[in-house]
Chains A and B, each alone.
Chain A
Amino acid sequence: MDRFGDEDGVTAPEDEIFSAVTTALEPYRKEGTRIAASTDISQDLNLDSVAVLDLLMELEEKFDVSIPLNLVPEIRTVGELADTVRRLKEG
C-alpha cells in the first residue's frame, strides 16, 4: 500500500494537490492517526465547520481556484477534497 492508499483500496493520485491537502490538514490530525484519502474531514480530524472553510481558502489561494460553497457538503473525505481541487484546477 502506498503512502496515499487506504484500507478500502481507494488510491488518490500522488500528486502535488493531494500532498498540499494533507499538509494543510496536518495541524488537525488526531494523534496516532495518519491522513489518508479515505480520512473523513469532519469526523476523523480535529476540525470544525468554520476551520474547514478557512482551510478551503488556503487551498484556493495555493491553487488559484474558487471552490464553490455549494460543493462543500459533497466533500466528505480528504481524497474527495483533492479531487475537487484537481477538477477545478483542470477547469
Chain B
Amino acid sequence: MGLFDQFQDLMRSHAAVKAVGADPFGVTMERVVSPTEAIVEGRPTILVGTNNYLGLTFEPSCVAAATEALETQGTGTTGSRIANGSYGGHAGLEEALARFYGKRSAMVFTTGYQANLGIISTIAGAKDYLIIDADSHASIYDACKMTSATVIRFKHNDAADLDKRLQRLAGTDGNKIIVVEGIYSMLGDQAPLAEMAAIKRKHGAYLVVDEAHSMGVLGDKGRGLAEVAGVEDDVDFVVGTFSKSLGAIGGFCVSDHPEFDVLRVRCRPYMFTASLPPSIVASVTAALAVIERRPELRTKLWANVNTLYDGLKRHGLLLGPQKGPVVAVHLPTPELAVQAWQALLQSGVYVNLALPPATPNGASLLRCSVCAAHSRHQLERVIDTITEVAYQIGVLSEPARAAG
C-alpha cells in the first residue's frame, strides 16, 4: 500500500469538485486591491469571504506602523522568544492586550491556531477534564489530542447538556475546563455564555472562551461575547486571533490567573516556534488602538450585517440561526454548493465554500463574512448575485424570487 493511498477518497472527491470549475480550496487572488476587492481570474471580485470584519488590512495607521517596524527592525525575528529573546514590540503588544481586556496578563502566539493549541493543551493536566462544544474549531480538537486529559463533548450551544456532563463528573478529582467559542465560525451563532458562566460557577469549573470571530465585533469596547454577556470575570482564559478583526496574523491569550506566566516556559506551541515579525506586531498594536478609538467601525459592520442577512433572508434563502458577521447560506447538497460557489466566482463574488465534514450537521454552506468596509452597493450586488445563482440552480423557486 502506497504512502498516499490513504488519501484516495479525498483525492477523488477533490478532483470531482475541480472538474466542475475553479477549485474552491485553491483560489489565487491575483491582486488584492482593498479589504473588499480583489482581481481573481482576471475579474474584479467582491470579497465576502475574508473574516476581515473591520476592514483594517489597508488601514493607513497599521500599514505605516508595519512599514516603520519593517525598516527599522528587519523582516523577522528568526527564532522563538525563549531562545532569541522578545522584541520590545512583543512585550508592548502583550501589555496593550492585557489593558484592552482589563486582565492581568497576556501572551502572544504566532498564530491563532497555536494560541488554542498552546493554552488548552498546556492548562489541562492528565487528571483534568476538557469539556468542549461539539462544534469546536479544529484547533480546539487538535489541542485536545495533545493532552492526556479526559475530553468530553457537549451538544453544540446546549447549556443544559453542558450542565449534565459536569454533573456526571461530580465527585471526580481533576479540574474541569469548559471550552467554548464566542461566535462559531461556520454558522455564525453565538454561545449562550451567560448561562454557561453560571454553570461554570455552579460546578467550580474553569472557562476558556475563544473570541476569534467575536473580538472587535461584539461588545461596546469590542472585547467580544464575554463583554456582551457581562461575564468577563467568569472567563478564566480569553483566546483570540490577530488574523480577523485585527487584519494580520497571530494569536493571544489573556488571563487574570496570577501564575499565568509559567506558561511561557511550559507551553510548547509558544516555545518551539519563531515569534511574530516586528512588522506584524506593529500593525496589530496599531489595529488594537483603532478598535479602541473607532467604535463606529463596529456600528458600520453591524449595519452591513443587517443589510446582507436581511437581504438574503427576504429572498427566501435559508441562513444560519443567528444574525452576525458570519452569514451562512445553506444549500441542499455539497454538489449544489460547489456549483453555486463556482457560479458566484464567475460573477465576481468570492465567498467561502464550507462542506462536510468541516461543517456542523453535514451542512453545505456558502459562508459569507461581512466587512465594515463593504459599501451598500457591494452588498446589494452580493445579494442580487447569490439570489440569481440560487434561482439558476433551482434552490430558489420562481414565487420566492418574485416575492423578493
Binding site for B on A (CB under 8 A): 48-50, 53, 57, 64-66, 68-70
Whether the Cβ atoms of B168 and A64 lie closer than 8 Å is: yes
With A and B bound together, what is the CA distance between A70 and B145 in angstroms? 8
Please give me the residue from chain B that is nearest to A73 by CB atom.
B145
Which residues on the B side are within 8 Å of A57 (C-beta)?
A: 134, 153, 155
What are 17 inter-chain pairs, A to B, with CB distance below 8 A? A48-B357, A49-B357, A50-B356, A50-B357, A50-B362, A53-B134, A53-B153, A57-B155, A64-B164, A64-B168, A66-B165, A66-B169, A68-B150, A68-B151, A68-B152, A69-B144, A70-B151
Whether the Cβ atoms of B152 and A66 lie closer than 8 Å is: yes
Which residues on the A side are within 8 Å of B357 (C-beta)?
A: 48-50
**Of residues 352 to 404 in B, which have CB atoms within 8 Å of A's CB atoms?**
356-357, 362
Binding site for A on B (CB under 8 A): 134, 144, 150-153, 155, 164-165, 168-169, 356-357, 362
Whether the Cβ atoms of A69 and B168 lie closer than 8 Å is: no
B187 to chain A, nearest CB (A): 15
Which residues on the B side are within 8 Å of A64 (C-beta)?
A: 164, 168
- Residue in B151, B155, B164, B165 whose CB lies within 8 Å of A69: B151
Whether the Cβ atoms of A69 and B356 lie closer than 8 Å is: no
Please give me the residue from chain A that is nearest to B169 by CB atom.
A66
Whether the Cβ atoms of A70 and B153 lie closer than 8 Å is: no
With A and B bound together, what is the CA distance between A32 and B72 in angstroms? 71
Please give me the residue from chain A that is nearest to B361 by CB atom.
A54
Which residues on the A side are within 8 Å of B153 (C-beta)?
A: 53, 57, 69
Interface of A is mostly: helix
Whether the Cβ atoms of B134 and A70 lie closer than 8 Å is: no
Please give me the residue from chain A that is nearest to B141 by CB atom.
A69
Whether the Cβ atoms of A66 and B362 lie closer than 8 Å is: no
Whether the Cβ atoms of B152 and A65 lie closer than 8 Å is: no
- Residue in A48, A53, A65, A70 whose CB lies within 8 Å of B168: A65
Which residues on the B side are within 8 Å of A69 (C-beta)?
A: 144, 151-153
With A and B bound together, what is the CA distance between A50 and B151 in angstroms? 16
With A and B bound together, what is the CA distance between A70 and B155 in angstroms? 17
B76 to chain A, nearest CB (A): 37
Which residues on the A side are within 8 Å of B356 (C-beta)?
A: 50
B90 to chain A, nearest CB (A): 34
Whether the Cβ atoms of A66 and B168 lie closer than 8 Å is: yes
Please give me the residue from chain A that is nearest to B155 by CB atom.
A57
Which residues on the B side are within 8 Å of A70 (C-beta)?
A: 150-151
Which residues on the A side are within 8 Å of B150 (C-beta)?
A: 68, 70
Which residues on the A side are within 8 Å of B155 (C-beta)?
A: 57
Please give me the residue from chain B that is nearest to A56 by CB atom.
B153
Kindly name the residue among B134, B153, B164 whose own CB sees the greatest number of chain A CB atoms within 10 A. Answer: B153
A41 to chain B, nearest CB (A): 16
A78 to chain B, nearest CB (A): 21
Please give me the residue from chain A that is nearest to B152 by CB atom.
A66
7 smallest CB-CB distances across A and B, nearest first, come from A69-B151, A50-B357, A66-B152, A68-B150, A66-B165, A66-B168, A70-B151
B363 to chain A, nearest CB (A): 11
Which residues on the B side are within 8 Å of A66 (C-beta)?
A: 152, 165, 168-169
With A and B bound together, what is the CA distance between A50 and B164 in angstroms? 22
With A and B bound together, what is the CA distance between A79 and B211 in angstroms? 41
Which residues on the B side are within 8 Å of A49 (C-beta)?
A: 357
A54 to chain B, nearest CB (A): 8
Please give me the residue from chain A that is nearest to B362 by CB atom.
A50
With A and B bound together, what is the CA distance between A68 and B169 in angstroms? 12
Which residues on the B side are within 8 Å of A53 (C-beta)?
A: 134, 153
With A and B bound together, what is the CA distance between A53 and B155 in angstroms? 11
Given A66-B165, A69-B151, 17 new contacts (CB under 8 A): A48-B357, A49-B357, A50-B362, A53-B134, A53-B153, A57-B155, A64-B164, A64-B168, A66-B168, A66-B169, A68-B151, A68-B152, A69-B144, A69-B152, A69-B153, A70-B150, A70-B151
A12 to chain B, nearest CB (A): 24
Which residues on the A side are within 8 Å of B151 (C-beta)?
A: 68-70
A28 to chain B, nearest CB (A): 14
With A and B bound together, what is the CA distance between A69 and B140 in angstroms? 13
With A and B bound together, what is the CA distance between A48 and B362 in angstroms? 11
With A and B bound together, what is the CA distance between A64 and B155 in angstroms? 13
Please give me the residue from chain A that is nearest to B168 by CB atom.
A66
With A and B bound together, what is the CA distance between A78 and B153 in angstroms? 21
A74 to chain B, nearest CB (A): 13
Which residues on the A side are within 8 Å of B164 (C-beta)?
A: 64
With A and B bound together, what is the CA distance between A57 and B134 in angstroms? 9
B197 to chain A, nearest CB (A): 21
Please give me the residue from chain B that is nearest to A49 by CB atom.
B357
